[in-house]
Amino acid sequence: MIVTERKPFDKIVSVSRWLIFGVVALVINLPILSTVMTSFKKTGDINTSPPVFLFEPTLKHYAEVLGSGRTDFPSYILNSLVIGTGGSLIAILVSFPAAYAIVRHGVGRSWLLPLVTNIRTLPLIIYAIPIYLMYQLVGLLDSLDWHDPNLGDDQHTGRAGLFCWLHAGSSA
């Protein structure tokens, strides 16, 4: 076994890489960190402008959501789990046969996979305007009490296309 001695320059490069990694990770996670910090602020500190960075943390908001009977938090979580799991299962059930047909029989290989890949590169918010216009055209705006805006139709179709692309790519 050959052992090479590390040069001081290698150590500087290694430390600088970790520092850059740490700064990039902090910048990328800044919105999440800000949200978590805000959840521990008192209501008065949340509403102040400019924002307060040094504050006395409190668990009042967590106790209100999780402990008081004013919100039906467990049913909201159950609803999200059912909708998310159901949407994912539907996407998998649709994408497996499509991926099989693409890989085994070549159906849509030349046009379907590039189409799905290009659709997935667009941000999902781009689909919001056409969906809004379709709802408006049919008269469904503000008429569906059960519709969750966080689970819009664009996410289910995009999820099925993504699964189809992943299954076809992994089977080829």
pLDDT digits (tens, 9 = 90+) for 23-67: 999 999 999 999 999 999 998 899 888 888 899 999 988 888 887
Contact 52, 45 (CB under 8 A): yes
15-29, 84-98, 129-143: least confidently modelled range: 129-143
pTM, two decimals, is 0.47
E strand or H helix at 16: helix 8-28
d(CA 153, CA 24): 33
What does 64-94 look like in DSSP terms, one character per residue?
Answer: IIIISTTS-HHHHHHHHHHHHHHHHHHHHHH
